[in-house]
Amino acid sequence: MTRLAKMVGTSWRWLVGENGSARQILHHGFLVSAVLIGLFSAVFNYLMELTVPAYSVALAVISLMVMVMWYRSRFHGEFSRMSWLFCTLVTFVMLPGNWVFNHGASGPTLLFYLMAAAYVLGVLPPDRLRRGVIISGLMLMPWILLWGEMANPQLVSSYASTAMRSLDMGVSYTLAFGLLSLVIAGYAKRIREERDLARAYATKLERLSRLDSLTGLYNHRTIHEHAEHHLSGRDISCLLICDLDHFKQINDAHGHPYGDQVLAHFSMHIQTLSREYSGKAGRYGGEEFMILLPGNLAVAREFDRQLRESCEASPLAHGVIRFSTGVSERRHPDTLSSWVQRSDEALYHAKASGRDQLIVDHDISMV
């Protein structure tokens, strides 16, 4: 029994296309169900003599047409076109025909109109004109059919007996219940799909809100948060502030777009090296960058040396990117303000002492 259920589940997933969107899966499932229900109804109506034999033949032919629609949608990527054609066929051909040949208002057609409406609202592509035509048809067609039956009762067939009507309504209810279950499952999958998409967008927005749009490094607020985290720990760490040398002249000589390219290029070097050192890097403002490194001043000096070598190895149009660095090691009484200030003062001395060098805060001496 378990093996049979597994085979049925596998077959169903193949029929509806488990890798498609929720709308596509609902559409394919509804088409497959429409084919099965159409063929079953053709046989059922013929055996029970509920309608004329020609209607059973018409049901079988329409079921084959729907099977072709399923095939085109499932394997040829024609979901939008086939959903529109199927909705048109159901609204203006299949259900009106079912009304006429399956006992009008006394039969189950209104029930199937409701199922069709549930399907259409969840699947039909958001084309205003097409949606308007189909939804208007679903709203107005039953009224037209009711009026036509009232004006000309002889246009619709009648049940041979109350027992036959009860049997037809019972079977139709069961089929409609199956369709409704399928539609609800499709809506549930679509809700989950849209929820997951919303979560993915929220995660992406959260990540983007923490990054500088030009360089891809952490922005000012986020790098400060990481610095606060370093201050709350007990491990040794260093804070480096790097400032590009003569950046204004680069902008003036080559233009601001080129200046942005320089910032992005330098940020790439910082990002790559920071990851190797398990550090955090951010754009502190303008052409200034803040790097947080676990480890002592020797680690910070080695980081600075490798960063300069990396820049030397990949010069730009104006030449090698030169920069000055101020660094300080965290002290236990430090606040964020005092820690940043010591690195900033060291940077100021590096700039005042000729640039293109690293200065440590505790002795304000060139390294």
Question: What pLDDT shows up at residue 303?
Answer: 96
Strands 365-366 and 358-360: antiparallel
> Which two three-digit tokens encode residue 155?
């246009």
Q: What is the mean pLDDT of the chain?
A: 89
Domain 220-366 CATH (choose: 3.30.2000.10, 2.60.60.20, 3.40.50.740, 3.30.70.270): 3.30.70.270
Asked if 149 and 104 count as a contact pair (C-beta separation under 8 A), the reply is: yes
Assess whether pLDDT exceeds 60 at residue 365: no
Residue range(s) of every CATH 3.30.70.270 domain in the chain = 220-366
Sign of the four-CA dihedral 344, 349, 352, 355: negative
**Type of residue at 293:** L
**CA dist., res. 310 & res. 270, Å (int):** 9
- DSSP bridge partners of 282: 218, 290
- Rounded to two decimals, the pTM is 0.58
CB-based burial of residue 342 (10 Å sphere; 0-12 exposed, 13-18 middle, 19+ buried)?
Answer: buried
Percent of the chain past pLDDT 70, that is, above it, reads: 98
Question: What pLDDT shows up at residue 4?
Answer: 77
SS3 breakdown of the chain: % helix, strand, coil, rounded to 5? Answer: 70, 10, 20
Asked if 106 and 159 count as a contact pair (C-beta separation under 8 A), the reply is: yes
What's the farthest any 2 CA atoms get from each other in the chain?
Answer: 107
| Residue range 67-122, pLDDT digits in tens | 999 999 999 989 888 988 999 999 999 899 989 888 889 999 999 898 888 888 88
**CA dist., res. 175 & res. 36, Å (int):** 10
Query: 216's torsion region: left (phi>0), alpha (psi -120 to 50) or beta?
Result: left
Question: What pLDDT shows up at residue 197?
Answer: 84
| Residue range 269-314, pLDDT digits in tens | 999 999 999 999 999 989 999 999 999 999 999 999 999 999 999 9
The top-scoring range by mean pLDDT among 122-131, 177-186, 313-322 is 313-322
Question: What pLDDT shows up at residue 363?
Answer: 59
